[in-house]
Amino acid sequence: MNVKGIVCRKRGRSISLLHSSFIILHLSFITLLPCAKAQPGTWHSHPSFLSAQTLAAVQNKIYCASENGFFYFDPTANETTRLSRDDGFSENGISQLFYVSEQKRLLIGYRSGTIDLLSVSDSGEPGPLTTITLIRDATQIPGSKRINHVSRTGNDAYLACDFGIVVLDVVKSEIRDTYRNIGPNGTPVVVYATALTNDSIYASTSRGLLAARFTPTVNLAFFGNWKTVSLPPGASVQSVVGVNNRLYVAWPGQGVAERQGGRWTVVKPLPTITGLLATATEWIATAPDELQRASGVLMQNALLGEPKEITEAADSFWVADSLSGLLRLTGTAVQSVSPDGPASDVFQRLTADPSGQVLALPGGFSDDLKPLRRRRGFDRFSDGRWQNFLTSSLPTDFVTAGYNPTDQRTYLGSFGGGLWSSDNPNLAEVVNRVFANISSLTVDPNGDVWLATPTLDFGKATIHVRRKTGQFESFIPGRGDIHQLILDDSGFLWMRLSSYNGGGMQVFDPKTNRTRLLYNQSGEGDLPDRNVRSLVKDRDGLIWIGTDNGVAVFDNPAAVFTGTVNAYRPVFDRRRLLSGESVTALAVDGGNRKWIGTTNGIYLFNEDGTVLVENFTADNSPLPSSQITDIAVEPTRGEVFIATPNGLVSYGGTASEPAPVFAGITVFPNPVRPDFGGLVSVRGLVENTVVKIMDAGGQLVYETRSQGGTATWNLRDYRGRSAETGVYFVFAVSPDGKEGLAGKLAVVR
């Protein structure tokens, strides 16, 4: 299966090292194909396509939406195409798809209440888009406005929403009516779905199954016209479906029941029934690993986890499964056809390492040291693709990871399964199960792996080290409720502690067994708040602390065990840095700049926190949520990965790890084509490299200094004028001025 727009391939060659003063060389840079994942200043979403929620057969394509992803599948070409806000769609959170075939328009309903009406070509390709925001923007409707289901009769589509029912004229693209507070005595209800029969409309709601006469003389906006309909014992109102003017429900322990003469009658015995779906022409019952039609078993397969919707097209059945993605069922064969992506949208921890891989870990734990999530395995992003490691042999809740350059393996700690290791691209293997519950790990320059095994009890060994020889050694620090640990340049372990047990921080010296507790008291750390959320060591060896009241820095970690110890708080815009903000994540890029995640967005500050470079929120960027869970910066490209409760995204950073010496540089895109509007990036530089851009006539166009190993050009000269078509020379000079690299960049306008 081919997937569009996923893999970037490198072409060309690098520039050789120069051991001389500034010299012009007429050599070519490495040329890279444009790649959204790596271009500075651009965003890329990483949704899970396995959490499929809704689908629609559109001409000869199958459109499918997961919790945060959207794509279509072409059965003829056996190819998937991703869709997103970059293609003009309103949002990420699609909750319902419904195809109006005679108009060749796809109705796209969102969790926010927004409606997109997508026109499609004869072959099902996306076309012009019309957006309706009346529901989303309705101030008189409180709470959630999610669109849960769409049914249709004539020109009217009935949208089941979290606040009631909306009637949409699909020809005029107008909202014609709204039915709210239709529950008993006018109570508000969540409407999960509607079903139409010859003379009645049924609504599956949070107050049970409601029904009303479906005639022009009945006012459906009046709650008194809606009556409660009893269900079979144990039946879920969300399993009620309408097919061919008939009403069916899944009756647990019995089978499929039909509403006949005011009673429910079993029409298909199926004791293992778990739910009921419907195509345009028939009901299909769900059971463990099984779908069953009235005529017999449709399919049995372990991929059938949690089917949400089903349709029939192109000689196959298509299932939107919230655990397995989009499935194609043909005869006895089941094929997963979802695009590449992580297995989940929610990750508690991200890590990145010099090998170029990013790990997304689903597990975490609360302040009282109880697991937050229960999902096996982990996800790895490498070479532009995601790999999902979800086999049953892996323990639940991987919560921490670290790369060991000594043996070139990644070590992973789980909450319940011990210590594991993996070498890319192989699956993880167990290293030690004795230390079962690992909350954090880090690797020192010698290749020793340090572990924290937290407990709320005092006096127990909660720090352990696996020497590179494979031997383990354990230590007893002052407190064992350890959420995160990092190593400073002196070999001291800095730990953030559980707020459940008093919060604060602890520093431990494993060579002397000294322990120092740091709190918000003057002389004893002077933290902005006792609740510490995040820790990071920057490129100068300083320890940065994120708390529920902003940021603090320990600028002399080596002196932490001597006398009075106070953190300082950087000042930005005449106030303490992010005072009043809960700082949930910290990361350092190759330019020693600080990426700071909060509950209100993400900030990029300069190296000392006094200059704001960028500020992103869900309102001014593609961030799916302003609540930041974690941040990791991939060092070789500078790509910044950001985890939120609503999904994972990455941003093309403008800094990368500096090279130790000039050994070749890359510039991309090259050539710059007319439709390119981003930043040109020069990478492979040493720290503080001066980069000069000159035109073919030898005139200086632009000059900058690298952030770590990367410099960028916005394709404008020093007067702000856009670069014209031509060949430009790029010169890179080390801070001492003794080494230089040169190459050519083509710009086409």
> For residue range 72-112, what is the model confidence (pLDDT) as tens digits?
999 999 999 999 988 899 988 999 999 999 999 999 999 99
Contacts of residue 619, Cβ cutoff 8 Å, sequence gap at least 6: 626
For residue 631, give both structure tokens.
């941040």
- How far, in Å, are 62, 283, 329 from residue 311 at the CA level? 9, 10, 10
- Calpha distance 374→380 (Å, rounded): 18
Distance from C-alpha of 525 to C-alpha of 313, rounded to nearest angstrom: 65
Q: Looking at the structure, do residues 520 and 429 belong to the same domain, yes or no?
A: yes
The side-by-side arrangement of strands in the sheet containing 296-300 is 275-278, 283-287, 290-293, 296-300
Identify whether 405 is preceded by a cis peptide bond (ω within 30 of 0): no
Residues 500, 361, 93: CA angle, nearest 5 degrees: 100
Identity of the highest mean pLDDT range in 10-24, 209-223, 377-391: 209-223
d(CA 619, CA 629): 17
- Name the burial class of residue 320, with classes exposed (0-12), middle (13-18) and buried (19+) by CB atoms within 10 angstroms of its CB: buried
Confidence of residue 465 (pLDDT cuts 50, 70, 90): very high
Whether 341 shows a pLDDT value over 70: the answer reads yes
Domain final position from 579, 597, 629: 579
Query: What one-character DSSP code corresponds to residue 137?
Result: H
Examine the pLDDT at 354 and tell me if it is beyond 90.
no
Range of the domain at 444: 353-579
Strands (E) located in 423-549: 429-432, 440-443, 449-452, 463-466, 472-475, 482-487, 493-497, 505-509, 514-518, 524-525, 532-537, 543-547
666 shares a domain with 574: no
The answer to whether residues 68 and 47 touch, using CB atoms and an 8 Å cutoff, is yes
Position 741 scores a pLDDT of 65
Structure confidence at residue 523 as a pLDDT band (50, 70, 90): very high
* Average pLDDT estimate for 246-250: 96
Average pLDDT over residues 197-203: 92
Supply the pLDDT for residue 431: 87
Higher confidence at residue 732 or residue 295? Answer: 732
pLDDT, the chain, mean: 90
Q: In what order do the strands lie in the sheet with 307-313?
A: 307-313, 316-321, 325-330, 333-336
Q: Are residues 665 and 560 located together in one domain of the fold?
A: no
Does residue 497 sit in the same domain as residue 396? Answer: yes
pLDDT of 12 above 50: no
Query: Would you give the DSSP letter of residue 373?
Result: -
Q: Is residue 393 located within the same domain as residue 509?
A: yes
Token pair 């290791």 is at which residue? 421
Shortest CA distance to 74 belongs to which of 61, 55, 57? 61
More confident residue, 6 or 243: 243
CATH number, domain of 667, equals 2.60.40.1930
CB atoms within 10 A of CB 24: 12
Residue 571 shares a structural domain with residue 680: no
Return phi, psi of residue 498, to 5°.
Answer: -70, 130
Same domain, 450 and 566: yes
Within 10 A of 468 (CB to CB), how many other CB atoms are there?
A: 14
Instruction: Express each pLDDT in 16-72 by its tens digit.
Output: 222 333 323 232 333 333 333 468 899 999 999 999 999 999 999 999 999 999 999
Per-residue pLDDT of 166-175, as tens digits, reads: 999 999 999 9
Q: How far apart (Å, rounded) are the C-alpha atoms in residues 250 and 240?
A: 7
Determine contact, residues 40/32, Cβ cutoff 8 Å.
Answer: no
Token digits of residue 205 = 């709601």
Looking at the structure, tell me whether residues 467 and 556 fall in a common domain: yes
CA dihedral sign, ordered 86, 91, 93, 95 = negative
> Is 246 inside a domain boundary?
no
Q: Is the pLDDT of residue 373 over 70?
A: no
Distance between CA atoms of residues 330 and 323, nearest Å: 19
pLDDT of amino acid 14: 31
Q: Helix or strand or coil: residue 255?
A: strand
**For residue 413, is it within any domain?**
yes
**Whole-Å CA distances, 31 to 28, 279, 667, 669, 691:** 8, 50, 7, 7, 18
**Predicted local distance difference test score (pLDDT) of residue 38:** 62
Residues 6+ apart with CB under 8 A from 259: 229, 246, 247, 248, 249
**Is the distance from CB of 624 to CB of 601 less than 8 angstroms?**
no
Provide CB contacts within 8 A for 639, sequence distance 6+: 37, 38, 633, 650, 651, 652, 653
* Domain-located, residue 269: no
Tokens representing 453 are: 């095994």
Q: Do 375 and 510 sit in the same domain of this protein?
A: yes
* CB atoms near residue 421 (< 10 Å): 19
Q: Does residue 668 have a pLDDT over 90?
A: no
Residue 283: strand pairing partners: 278
Please indicate, yes or no, whether residues 367 and 476 belong to a single structural domain of this protein.
Answer: yes
Q: Is residue 550 part of a domain?
A: yes
Tell me if 567 is assigned to some domain.
yes
**147 pLDDT exceeds 60?**
yes
What is the reported pLDDT for 425? 67
Separation between Cα atoms, residue 744 and residue 670, nearest integer Å? 9
Q: Are 28 and 12 in contact, with CB atoms under 8 Å apart?
A: yes
How crowded is residue 734: how many other Cβ atoms within 10 Å of its Cβ?
18
Q: What angle (nearest 5°) sits at the alpha carbon of residue 608, between those of residues 602 and 610?
A: 70
Higher pLDDT, 735 or 61: 61
CA distance 233 to 221: 29
Q: How far is CA 238 from the centre of its chain?
A: 28
- 478 and 388 co-located in one domain: yes
Q: Rounded distance, CA 298 to CA 329, Å?
A: 9
Between β-strands 524-525 and 565-566, what pairing exists: parallel, antiparallel or unpaired?
parallel
Give dist(CA 435, CA 419) in Å, integer. 7
Q: State percent of the chain over pLDDT 70.
A: 93
Asked if omega into 425 is within 30° of 0 (cis), the reply is yes
Confidence at residue 374, expressed as pLDDT on a 0 to 100 scale: 63
Last residue of a domain, one of 229, 250, 285: 229
The answer to whether position 707 is within a domain reads yes
Number of domains, the chain: 3
Nearest-angstrom CA–CA distance, 442 and 404: 9
End residue of a domain, out of 579, 604, 634? 579
pLDDT of residue 339: 95
- For residues 562 and 673, membership in a common domain is answered with no
User: Looking at the domain assignment, is residue 643 inside a domain?
Assistant: no
Contact assessment for residue 502 and residue 525, using Cβ atoms and an 8 Å cutoff? no
Contact indicator for 84, 90 with CB cutoff of 8 Å: no
Question: What one-character DSSP code corresponds to residue 85?
Answer: G
**Confidence check: pLDDT of 698 > 90:** no
Q: Is residue 334 part of a domain?
A: no
What CATH number has the domain bearing residue 360? Answer: 2.130.10.10
